[in-house]
Structure 1
Amino acid sequence: MRTALRTALAAALVAGVAATPVLASGTAFAAGPAPAPKPAAAAPAGKTATPAGRTATATPGQGAAAGTAPAADTTAPAADAAADADTPVRTVQLVDGLTAKVYRRGDQHPYYTATIEREGATLGELKAGAGYPAKDTRIIVGHVVTLDFEGQVTATAIGPDGHLLRTVQLAGGLSAEVYARGDQHPYYTATVHKDGRTLGELKAGAGYPPKETKVFAGHAVTLDFEGTVTAVAVDTATGTLVRTQTLVGGTVAKIYKVNAQHHRAELFRDGRPVGELTANTRPAAGNDNGEFLVLNPDGTTHNWVGNYRPGATPGIYRLADGTVLELTRKDGRYGLQLIENDKGRGFTYLNGDRAVWTYGKAVVVLERDGGFAAYIPGSARQAAPQPYGMGGGGQGEERPADTDPDALGACTVTRWVDIGAGTGAKLIMSPKGPKAKLITAGDDKVIAVLDRAHPALPKSAGIVARLVDAHTATPSLYTRTQGGGAKGGTHAFPKLPKGCELNAVPGAQGQDASPQGGQTSVIPKGGVAAGAEPAAEESSATLVAVGAGAASLAAAGLGFTALRRRTAGARG
């Protein structure tokens, strides 16, 4: 039967007649109307030319008359159908050297596949049609490649702002714009909207979790690593309001219990919804311009302003309770590990925009840019993570690198503090007295140095900074980086190590020059006069990251309204 079928087709081709395929749907080409027969020379007796140029001996009694196509057998063997499926319908040249080989497959339920190649290497495959989606879209080497149910394939390069794949209408009046992003490490984002307002964004794929879920307007919206987004209404019977909490910046958080280890917080400013957090079996955190909110799975929260070191560089840091952590960066991701007895306990790396980890009592929030904040629940002492030199003679004092001249001498100690406006201060204490270096965050540029000879910044500096009790063994730095009625903060210098003494200053006028002498010559005026200095605990409330060191609202991801914003001329 098979030989007769092939011989009949060959005879028809020699005769110049287009045979209409009557094979099953597994053939690689769609059947169409046959063109009118054209006269042609008869084939030599006993021979019939094949399409491949080979000859086949005609079977007696089955020769075809010139110009007439023989009837085709409608039952093609399975082996022939498989062979046809291995032949591309077409080869398409796409952008940037990509090539697509399109195949028609299936029998009773045909579909298409497209194999994407570049320079002979196979990069991926798409499928569309019966049994598969009507359109299949994949991200391949920085391109959005699409195959539809008719076997048409296209490719578009992903731009720096991503490529909008589709807009999906979700439950509850929500909609989501799904974008393809990335190049060698593709991922997807979904921007969720309702009534013309943007509620938030989800991310999934390379460098992010394979699936992310957030609650928007009473619906749990999920984006997966293939760019599929869905929304399901949150069961109000298991989402019970347990309390309403006002945060330090005035934002109101409504805490809902879904189950014992799943809580969510809806955030409001002036009665308007401005963001949500979901803690399902692990804590979630938000950062709004230096105000942090941590929601734990059991519904408890931590909320503070400051204690933040934006864009920190890899190294070893000490927290306010003495906990020592090491920050590192690997494959573009930041990670932290606990240091105990001068030994690391293993790094945990960030997978997303931010993460919350607990070390002992310390609650630490690590950001995507390497910045991190630390909060010690129940402690009166709060501070941003400070650079810490390991191997400091066994004393554990905070030291800069050995190449820093401030580190010379066993009686020199340092600590770092954030003073706001994207600025930090390196407080250096030695027998020569206190020295404060004001340093901008990010580029680590020294913008001013205060010491006994130059104890205060001029008014033209734009911020207030001055040494207090500079000729005693317990000096401090007073700073105020915001104008108006904003309060300043006082930051104590580290104490001299045991056995070290402060040098006396002979000839000092108007003050006691002894190490334990009285008032410094730089006496704060007005609201910060002696006896009216802000308490050290108040200083943490002023450590709002603004200016060059601010974490933008978009980067913060929490979405609630910025709590503190600098305005033109706000410095004083």
Structure 2
Amino acid sequence: MTARRIRRTRRTVRSATLVAVAAAAAFSLTACQSGSDDAAGSQKKDSASASHATGGGADSGETSRAGSGKNQTDVRTQAQGDNASSATSTSAASRARSETLVDGSTAKIYKLGSQHYRAKIVNDGDVLATLETKQSDAGLDANGMFVTLTLDGQIHSWMGGDQQGPGTFDLEGGWTAKVTKAGENHYRAKIIGHDGVAATLNANQHDVGLNANGVYIVLSAGGVISAHA
């Protein structure tokens, strides 16, 4: 009886141990499976998050590239426009005519736009002076040769007839010039006709000119005035 009870007790203990081991194994398997599921879920979430982030980055990249492309297109368009404008100005300026002035030099006249002309006075290949009309006629005292360039691109030159201001002087065409000194290399001339003051020339650091109904007048920054019809 005692031996049987001992064997039965050992079997019971062994069974209990096996049950405990089985339970521990089952728990471990459940924990591993749960951990795997959590890891898989985490990987799915990370993958989904990465996919979403990549998608956003791609959208941003596409937007950035599209914007960059648009800006590049704008820059290219602007550059092409600038080049076209430059080419047009060059083309306009290249249409020049030449006229011989009273002292034998040559005036090369360029049309730059509406009432916008430039004249280069050239002698033996050297440019001696440049006149340009900008909303008004232009004039020059070139060492005793007087030159005017008008808004319609006409050039006129003569020599002599100069008078030194300040003072009041009779000019050709019945005009009178009242010349005053405003400062260093700065003179003004009021051109007076039968009806009063018709125009004012202001030679401030550079010479000026005027077409007064067919009478060409130049006032220099040094106060010299001359007129020719």
Q: Deviations over 1:238-260 (max 9, x none)?
A: 21323111112111122111112
Size of the aligned set, in residue pairs, is: 143
Q: Relative to 1, partners in 2 of residues 1:237 and 1:307: Cα closer, same or farther, differing over 3 Å? A: same
TM alignment of 1:434-473, pairs within 5 A = none
State the TM-score, normalizing by the size of structure 1.
0.23
Alpha-carbon distance between aligned partners in 2 of 1:243 and 1:279, rounded to the nearest angstrom = 16
Distance apart, 1:279 and its partner CA:
1.9
Partner letter of residue 144 of structure 2?
G
- Cα distance in 2 for partners of 1:279, 1:273 equals 18
Q: Secondary structure at the match of 1:250?
A: coil
Superposition deviation, residue 346 in structure 1: 7.3
CA distance in 2, matches of 1:304, 1:319: 14
1:325 correspondence with 2:215: no
- State which of 371, 376, 380 in structure 1 corresponds to 2:224: 371
Equivalent AA in structure 1 for residue 112 of structure 2: V
Partner of 1:359: 212
The answer to whether residue 150 in structure 2 is matched with residue 296 in structure 1 is: yes
TM-score (norm 2): 0.53
**C-alpha spacing 1:372/1:348, structure 2 compared with 1 (3 Å):** closer
- Residue 92 of structure 2, aligned match among 221, 224, 238: 238
Aligned to 1:302, what secondary structure does the other structure show? strand
Determine the structure 2 residue equivalent to 1:338: 191
Structure ranking higher in helix proportion: 2
Cα distance in 1 between the residues matched to 2:153 and 2:195: 35
The CA deviation at 1:345 is 5.7
CA distance in 1, matches of 2:223, 2:190: 13
Q: Evaluate the alpha carbon distance shift between residue 258 and residue 341 of structure 1 in structure 2; reply closer, same or farther with a 3 A threshold.
A: closer
Q: What is the distance in 1 between the residues matched to 2:194 and 2:137?
A: 28
CA distance in 1, matches of 2:140, 2:178: 22
1:172-199 deviations in Å (ceiling 9; x for gaps): xxxxxxxxxxxxxxxxxxxxxxxxxxxx
How much identity, in percent, do the aligned residues show? 28
Superposed, 1:433-512 pairs within 5 Å as none
Deviation at 1:317, TM superposition (A): 1.6
* Partner secondary structure for residue 327 of structure 1: strand
Distance in structure 1 (CA, Å) of the matches to 2:187 and 2:159 = 23
Q: Sort the Cα spacing of 1:335 and 1:234 in 2 relative to 1 into closer, same or farther, 3 A.
A: farther
Answering whether residue 139 of structure 2 is matched by residue 253 of structure 1, we say no
Which one has the largest radius of gyration? 2
Deviation at 1:354, TM superposition (A): 1.4
Change (3 A) 1:353 1:276: closer
What is the CA–CA distance in structure 2 between the aligned matches of 1:274 and 1:234, rounded to whole Å?
27
Contact 2:179 2:189 in 1 (8 A): yes
Match of 2:162 in 1: 308
Change (3 A) 1:238 1:323: same
CA contact (8 A) 1:286 1:292 kept: yes
Q: Kindly state the Cα deviation for residue 273 of structure 1 after the two structures are TM-superposed.
A: 3.2
| Residue from 105, 124, 131 that aligns with 1:277 | 131
Taking a change above 3 Å as real, the CA distance of residues 240 and 337 of structure 1, as seen in their structure-2 partners, is: same
Q: Which runs of 5+ in 2 are unaligned?
A: 1-85
Corresponding residue for 1:449? none
Q: Which SS does the other structure have where 2:119 is aligned? A: strand
1:240/1:258 contact within 8 Å kept: no
SS at match of 1:350: strand
The 5-angstrom pairing of residues 56-455 of structure 1 reads: 235-309=89-163, 311-314=164-167, 316-330=168-182, 333-341=186-194, 344=197, 348-376=201-229
Alpha-carbon shift at residue 262 of structure 1 (Å): 1.2
